[in-house]
Structure 1
């Protein structure tokens, strides 16, 4: 762990293509960090999407629309990443809008101790809107073919992954090119044998 963040709050971002294993990896990392003696908070950017009641205001169905409009980056910054940082208040909302029930949880906060590690998984995590807030960045590498296969099997819906999620990822990779900014790349093509690249 870098000396500059030892004893301070640390924000870890986990990114990768859809179905690359970000959430499971985040849970496993949180368990290991907790065993090492640091308090851990877990969050996912999926819980910071714009509410469906506002979907008539913008395109969220196409690949480009999903990439540009699905997530509320102002909420991620103000509710989670800013308070979860070394100089933040420590009062973090780990969920903005529940993606299943659409319940607003933005007023519910969790206290992040001064040495807490906040682990957040999600697609597009290293976009310019929030990239500066991470203290450590992890990219889970899988091919687009693996992403599509896993996502279709998980959600029983190949068309959404093929026509919306993968095109959105292509825009992200082309516009942002996040890999040069990451601290660690892990080949997660085989869940049972992740490999540090």
Structure 2
């Protein structure tokens, strides 16, 4: 197959990436678009105690299996289907699913470090920077980690101050000015997000049409 049109979407923790991506994907047919997420390439932390898990820094580029992430992206370029077990962030209450990522004309590459990883960044045709005000992002992070990932409040706040914010400032923020589109996503209103993703998806479709893709 021809090289897919690759859209990179990176965002700060709590920027609403999951909701945004779900809405964005809904503007395309199932066989037109596929998604590969950096989050599924975390190297297992193998922590044994609550304190070890609290201190382990997931917000470093070295926490990701970078080679495997790049390899699977390239396999999608080559028309191969990628099978990958989802990462459940050490939550014993969640049974990981086996993900089947099929090649498609449009490929979404999502993750915190996709602009920082040079070999991934150079594959991108269109770059979206998703951001949110810090108080909004923190509120979302607290809600997600307390309810979905089983962390307690002190753990979330420790990671936010010591890991999340420094990683954002070091590995994502420097690329903001060089992206194609910056979206400040402070709303959780489904209609507003739907309208925003509809506009972006239309832009993408126009670019594909102009390039006869």
Confirm or deny a common fold (TM above 0.5).
Answer: yes
Segments of structure 1 that go 5 or more residues without pairing to the other structure are: 1-6
* Bigger CA radius of gyration: 2
1:153 partnered with 2:143? yes
Aligned-residue offset at 1:141 = 1.5
What displacement does 1:148 show?
1.1
Which residue matches 1:20?
A: 15
TM-score under structure 1 length normalisation: 0.72
TM-score calculated relative to the size of structure 2: 0.67
Contact in 1 for aligned 2:85/2:96 (Cα 8 Å): no
**Distance in 2 of aligned mates of 1:171 and 1:94:** 32
CA contact (8 A) 1:75 1:96 kept: no
Q: Is the 8 A contact 1:16 1:140 kept in 2?
A: yes
CA distance in 2, matches of 1:110, 1:65: 24
For 1:165 and 1:120, the matched residues in 2 are separated by 24
Q: Which has the higher helix share?
A: 2
| Closer, same or farther: CA 182–94 of 1 in aligned 2, 3 Å | farther
Structure 2: segments with no counterpart, 5+ residues: 89-93, 147-151, 200-213
**Per-residue deviation, residues 169-192 of structure 1 (Å, max 9, x unmatched):** 433343341202211111110122
Moved over 6 A (4+): none
- Once residues 93 and 160 of structure 1 are traced to their aligned partners in structure 2, the CA distance between those partners, rounded to angstroms, is 34
**Residue range with higher mean Cα deviation, 167-176 or 39-48:** 167-176
* Structure 1 residues 143 and 160: CA distance shift in structure 2, 3 A: farther
- Name the SS for the 1:43 alignment partner: strand
* Equivalent residues, number: 176
In the alignment, what sits opposite 2:179?
182
Question: What displacement does 1:131 show?
Answer: 2.1
> 1:101-140: CA deviations, max 9, x gaps?
467x5xx764414xx2122333333223532222221111
Equivalent residue, structure 2, for 1:112: 103
Counterparts of residues 45-194 of structure 1 (less than 5 Å):
45-53=38-46, 61-62=54-55, 66-79=59-72, 81-84=73-76, 88-93=77-82, 95-99=84-88, 100-101=94-95, 110-113=101-104, 116-129=105-118, 130-156=120-146, 157-176=152-171, 177-192=174-189, 193-194=192-193
Q: Aligned partners of 1:151 and 1:65: how far apart in 2?
A: 14
Q: Tell me how large the CA RMSD over aligned residues is.
A: 3.1
- Secondary structure at the counterpart of residue 90 of structure 1: coil
